[in-house]
Amino acid sequence: MSQTAEEEAFDAAVHEWDDPAYPSRADLNSLGVPTALPTETLVQIRELFNQALAVEGQHIKDHAPHPPFYFDYIESQHSNAFAFTDSSHSFIGVTIPLLNDALVIAATLAASDSVVACIGTPTHAKRQGINDALFWLLVNFVMHHEYTHHVHGHLRGTLNFDVEEMVGGALTGNLGQQALEADADGYAAYFSFAFWLLDVGGRNAAFEMLQVQHLDAVRQDQVLYSAFMVAAAGFTFLREPEALDEGKAYQRTHPPQPLRMHLLTRFVRKWCSEFRPALHTWMSQTHYQALMDAVSAAMWTNGTHAAGWHAQAEFLRTPEGVQYRDALIAELDRWRLTTLPNLSEVTG
């Protein structure tokens, strides 16, 4: 079957990388990697996101100028997501292993009694529905993260690698790049909450999957808030953290996992304070910690994973770690205030 003009352009842009780990656009009829999703589902996902991206606003305040969007899959053995461009397109690409990871995360979390109890879904709720909700919350968040790289002007002629697996490999980053990744997480959270909580279609879809249609609106919001935090934490907790010291902290492409989750939570709470004040006051530190404990118990299957996370958290509590954290937050706020003047500080 011949390619469309968008598919050809996407494939040509990937070939320009000249990276054997990401050789081409993925041909769904002859994938070189295993997929846990049927081909027709992959096609449906591609069509769904391209339909949504086709009507995205080109004149939203603070959005950088950008060509029309196109989303597709990239052939690779690696779990990853990308934002990249050519002269006529704003591309978003994900690999099949990333979707496989999202399925594993959703299934693992939905199978956990502790996670389900913390989310607050009914005890009789079917786990497949919770599984589906967590999968879509996670994939939607990843898509909005890549979308942000385009509309906030992050690319500047560079390629973005947006999964923690890449950190510590051949890539090296800096504080500025980490700030952009944190900004992409934050804006993705804003878009995700706006869709799932404010959009009628998003609300209905989420509440049907979570099986909470019979609950009052306040309780529905609380369940969805918890489900989003669980999905985001599952993605953050998936990969074993690397050893961290003062030198490595500043050279990463992404913030270390504990700090990345902390910054994301700040953005989520900020959104709630602006649009759902009752949610902002409802999410107590006790409930948040219960969510994180339940997710970590489900996701961390060996002692080295937990030890790596705690080692990173310990470093971030040292004087050097606190200085690094404060420097990253200052860089994030500086970038947002100078480049996105209509957005307030994450620390505000």
Q: How far is CA 50 from CA 24, 140, 220, in A?
A: 19, 12, 29
CA 48 from chain center: how many Å?
18
Return the closest-CA partner of residue 34 out of 26, 45, 43, 46.
26
Output the pLDDT for position 168.
36
Output the pLDDT for position 60.
74
Q: Which residues contact residue 174 at a Cβ distance below 8 angstroms, ignoring those fewer than 6 apart? A: 250, 251
**Distance from first CA to last CA of the chain, Å, rounded?**
52
Q: Which residues contact residue 75 at a Cβ distance below 8 angstroms, ignoring those fewer than 6 apart? A: 22, 23, 24, 25, 26, 27, 31, 32, 33, 95
| 80 found inside a domain | no
Torsions phi, psi of 161, nearest 5?
A: -105, 120
Output the pLDDT for position 57.
64
| 307 found inside a domain | yes
| 32 found inside a domain | no
Output the pLDDT for position 169.
36
Number of domains in the chain: 1
Output the pLDDT for position 186.
94
Per residue in 171-214, pLDDT (tens digit) is 478 999 999 999 999 999 999 999 999 999 999 999 999 999 99
| 29 found inside a domain | no
Per residue in 146-175, pLDDT (tens digit) is 999 999 988 854 555 554 443 333 347 899
Output the pLDDT for position 59.
64
Q: How far apart are the C-alpha atoms of 130 and 206, rounded to whole Å?
A: 9
**Single pTM value for the model:** 0.92
Q: Contact at 8 Å (CB) between 83 and 149?
A: yes
| 86 found inside a domain | no
Mean pLDDT, contiguous 10-residue spans, the chain (348 residues): 90 94 93 88 96 79 86 95 93 95 96 95 90 97 95 71 42 85 94 94 95 94 97 92 89 92 95 94 94 95 88 95 96 85 48
Helix axis angle for 127-151 and 96-110, nearest 10°, is: 140
| 70 found inside a domain | no
Average pLDDT of every residue of the chain: 89
| 49 found inside a domain | no
Domain that holds residue 319: 98-339
| 239 found inside a domain | yes
Output the pLDDT for position 165.
41
